[in-house]
């Protein structure tokens, strides 16, 4: 699919047929992180895995605030026939919550995957600043060196194909996009206030060994959103859609299959 946003023609990869389902990637990645999950879900859904601005098929510059990403997402959703489901992984979850703050009825159902609602505290902001300094001095390769072992569970690190695929995705990102993402994460609003107002079916997914957004954050999300359910992915770290694509696809398929009328 192709549409116009911000003066740019944006190509969005899609697969399958059925109710529309948008999968939003995290940092420092692009839509390809969802490939295994998208292939499985394409049997039942029309699956879109967009690249957020500043990477891959999206030539628009990366905003340094999530309100800009949410505007892009809203423009994409406007192209799709309702009902639409949305799954946001990590940073994609931050974008999803920014969208719901501006437009609570933008989607019919929501999945929040390995993410959290809280803003960065002072220590978190300091770490973002350190990462910005790292990308400025050492480039994306230095970011990849530090991020790969944090994204994956210890058992996943022994999967050489997975590690190599993950490194390739990170290394093709632009330094300026990585810096913009880090700035947006550092400056993002706390979203805990809007959680009780979310009135759409919501699924929260977290990896059993997620070290970046530990399960306690997902437990708080599920408890704060009325009617939300929580699914833990055994043996996975933070990057559940790449570490355990079958389990994540099964959880999303069951959830969206019930929440989105065919």
Beta bridge partners, 88, equal 24, 112
pLDDT above 90 for 261: no
Q: Which residues contact 136 (CB under 8 A, 6 or more apart)?
A: 175, 179
CB atoms within 10 A of CB 197: 11
Write the pLDDT tens digit of every residue in 205-252. 999 999 999 999 999 999 999 999 999 999 999 999 999 999 999 999
Q: Which pair of tokens denotes residue 148?
A: 């790969």
178: nearest Cα among 53, 88, 20: 53
pTM of the model: 0.97
Q: Are strands 46-48 and 14-15 parallel, antiparallel or unpaired?
A: antiparallel
- 158, burial (CB in 10 Å: exposed 0-12, middle 13-18, buried 19+): exposed
Predicted confidence (pLDDT) at residue 262 exceeds the cutoff of 80: no
Q: Output the domain CATH number for residue 91.
A: 3.40.50.1820
* Cβ neighbours of 18 (radius 10 Å): 16
Domains identified in the chain, total number = 1
Nearest to 225 by CA among 192, 257, 190, 259: 192
- For a pLDDT cut of 90, what percent of the chain falls above it? 98
How many CB atoms are located within 10 Å of the residue 91 CB? 23
Q: Answer yes or no: are the C-beta atoms of 120 and 188 closer than 8 Å.
A: yes
Residue-range definition of the domain harbouring residue 139: 2-259
pLDDT above 80 for 16: yes
The closest alpha carbon to 20, from 49, 52, 56, 51, belongs to 49
CA–CA separation, 166 and 154 (whole Å): 15
């Amino acid at each position: 699919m192709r549409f116009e946003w911000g003066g740019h023609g944006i190509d969005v990869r899609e697969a399958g047929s059925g109710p529309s389902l948008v999968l939003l990637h995290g940092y420092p990645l692009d839509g390809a992180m969802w490939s295994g999950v998208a292939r499985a879900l394409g049997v039942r859904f029309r699956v879109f895995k967009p690249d957020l601005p500043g990477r891959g098929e999206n030539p628009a510059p990366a905003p340094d605030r999530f309100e800009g990403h949410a505007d892009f997402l809203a423009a994409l959703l406007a192209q799709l026939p309702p009902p639409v489901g949305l799954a946001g992984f990590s940073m994609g979850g931050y974008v999803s919550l920014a969208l719901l703050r501006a437009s609570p009825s933008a989607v019919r159902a929501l999945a929040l995957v390995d993410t959290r609602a809280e803003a960065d505290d002072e220590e978190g902001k300091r770490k973002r600043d350190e990462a910005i300094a790292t990308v400025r001095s050492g480039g994306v390769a230095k970011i990849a060196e530090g991020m790969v072992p944090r994204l994956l569970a210890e058992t996943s690190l022994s999967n050489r194909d997975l590690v190599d695929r993950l490194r390739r995705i990170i290394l093709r990102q632009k330094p300026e996009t990585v810096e913009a993402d880090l700035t947006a994460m550092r400056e993002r609003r706390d979203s805990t206030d809007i959680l009780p107002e979310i009135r759409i079916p919501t699924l929260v997914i977290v990896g059993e060994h997620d070290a970046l957004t530990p399960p306690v954050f997902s437990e708080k999300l599920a408890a704060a959103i009325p009617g939300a359910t929580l699914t833990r992915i055994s043996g996975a770290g933070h990057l559940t859609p790449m570490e355990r694509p079958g389990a994540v696809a099964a959880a999303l398929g069951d959830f969206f299959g019930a929440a989105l009328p065919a």
